[in-house]
Chain A
């Protein structure tokens, strides 16, 4: 399905990408059924708090240096702006930048507003955001309340565009519309694609690097420099001006397949900027595939092959040492689908046996129409791996960990590693998206795992003292007994 820039909003992942949040099976079954479109979601009759689109949308957009966010919502929907501000400061620190607070205002909707509407408050808030922050663009993020009461945000912004001379864009990210919080990234990218990106004036040697906080900024700049390319880190820590020129770039690459699909394919469809549809650059196979994709898109195949050979030779002996040390360890992975299916491969490269992979959702296909490359790669390998999909449902995950009792639990997204630790399992949470980036990243990550299994005192002590919040009854059940039948 092509990305529709004429539409005011991006369709949610359930309808656009066939995304599901409930599944229990194996990677081979998952991929084969996804490929023939016979996979349906399974709902749960019990659930725990997960996450929503608005968090992803406004968290991501608030990282743009000179943009402002107006959240048209009750004040609680802006709660994540505190994390946004904290994470933004971390990114500023690693860049040696002076700190700022993010530009974020909430319209603070009240009970009265739910009855009479609050478009006047929104109008005032947008004006105030322009006055306070002098931003180069203003994004208005929606909420469950603004969505349900039917606030006409687009008309308000159209009217205001006469008096405020910067792009004003709605970002439709109502929490109730999707169980897949990554739909919020698409909402953010849809706004960037439709309101910020301008048609190209020239073609450049730049590469759009879609990521989160850009922890490996220097390494990537150095790698791309070898191919006479220059990265533009999208979207946090970039400027509106930089984003507006993404159409001029030579290619788009992404650290995460889930994150990159919408913008990468959108730029390709609209402006012919090739999107590299490869494995993600975690570990050696991922980096090989990612760099080769980039080389092909930019005509730098030979330079890329030279670099790959050099780097692989450089890490061979160290990788062997690590594999020896990690031999025999068993791990469970719990991450978003792109990271999850890529990290299973990373762990295998490090000699760790992955006994289960849980992902927080699964896209049956990306915006370019094919099943995710990382999932296909896993399903092509000889061994089949047990796989489940849950929107971070801890009751399901802990039931599973309690039965599998792995040596390691590797996660991404806060809020699960702590529980595995309480069960006495050495846990590593991948907070930095560049944790196992490429060849050197694989080595660094390997040492991190070795550290994690070398001293497990915190996990052991906690598990000896702490009671889990689940009944014995639940822990003795089949962990997937609350998954209902597939529905269309």
Chain B
């Protein structure tokens, strides 16, 4: 490719609307006659609704309807893209519940002519709750005498192996209690390595420990952190001619249709999702949120009248979800040169009350990739608690696994007298590095490529690591500086989605984007690949996005850093499809063979002559068939077929499924470097400098990439410096629910100096070479800062994240960590 667009900065087509206030987020839509709904939230961590009498509320002037849990559609089976059916999890999250399992869970909803009336109506609802036993501390729930978060038990059991021809059954809730011996170990401040439902082993662990020159055994706790998207998950819905129109806050556009189809038992063709702008997701709005069906169901009860459900900040704290904390313990053996010889990893994941999160298992998989232990055992249990639902948050599970590992690795380097960069380099993955346990056929998964060593080298040089590290721990007055480095990785791409565009006779290119617009700019960036391939200047591209009624192609979930990889591939496939069609048209018009023609600079030219893209588009309409979309490729998704058929006849159509080969599992990598300054008299610390170097393949849009790298680094830094939940353990109630209590970093918490770079080494397993970046900066940011604090003050100052000023003060006074090591939410 000529690379006039790829790798260049440009203004995304949504930016002016954003900066002039004209961009419409879900709450900005208004329709004549629109009603408002308010939610009645559970005041208790676990309760049973014994009685609801809504008659007084319904008798109020202006109150239109009440919706209860009894009126919800039953949970439906999930059918994957591959046609695999997964049986419904009847114990999963619902939009409304008669057995609320966390404080703040919606119990019923009222629709009224305005919000004040709806709020007044909630006061008139006569409702009786029966309190039920609850648990807000996952490890305590496992100890003798612990309570269960759910009536059926306290953990998610291991899923049953699938029976051929039968739907995959969901995991079941089980009860697990550890012994008195484990309780005694807990009392010593160590995470007991008790029974777990899930484990895997790789290599010879015992032999690895026997040959080790150093063995460390560390317990560490990572925080629960709310996503706190600045836009709460507001939704507005109405029905017209049997179709549901829903304006909602979701990360994905096309993929959100499937969620509503499942939640409401509707055919996908009867759902239009409108979400042109989403105010942040970070994983929590991957394909929408189930509470968004509430206005849809209220609207249905009221003959389709529009209903707006405006979510306020306190409600968002509950339904918005959070990253699950991991209580972890790692025993690791090291050779003299710092190479890991054996790794025994044990995690207790605080799962929240609903579906089992992927974080538990992902923690082990990611640690095995990033540090390449030759022998490893991973054991884990997801414990149910009566706290808000856990949802994927940037680098889910990987972030927590790396955060358990990094402080231990830093300590090992200090004990062995090895440089911090060197110990990470010697354990780093390379090329098609393997990860995780072997499958039944004895095969292990492997990365498509890994250049983390190069990222460490580039970062060391840019950060002047060698020159600066000697200053670590040296006191000047009351100030001590510390230097930390961390590596990180996460999955970064999927395959198999579609691209769709039309080059029109006016010489413009209409690109259809099914990617969600959550701020990453991938909904625009990816499509520059198509424009580049057909030689179209970006100024002549019209991008359509954000409304599934507008003929969008089948697109991936905008989550898990899939999109840049998945949709540069799909855009490449559609672009190449158009190039081939253009060559064929030129050969038909001017003679010669198609491959003798080249496409560039808005023209297709060859030995017989040259024509503009506009002329070729006109010719495509005349030729019909595949050229203008009347005949479509067999392998594209049914969703794309419908969209493409609607656009047929308007010009030359580029439409294709990404069927490019792909060997391995795509991962991106980041190396982070931090400098902190701690005041040992006050415990206050500042991050002076932060650098992240990313291995994300080919750079598509530098400004957007830099924003992702440093923005996600800051999200991680928030986990290190102060963001966490606090619970009233006695009543099971959250006490840190708002921004000022559970504070994300502000602009003043950002390091005074921040910089980023990317290696720009193409991934060999994808045609454009680009991978995703949203996830891996998170752990790198968090752990580089944690390691810098330990470098300044020494090991054993903190045993959990975040590291608060009070933690440091107490530890500096006592000379060792004085935190309660394992209690949750303190």
A pairs with B:
no
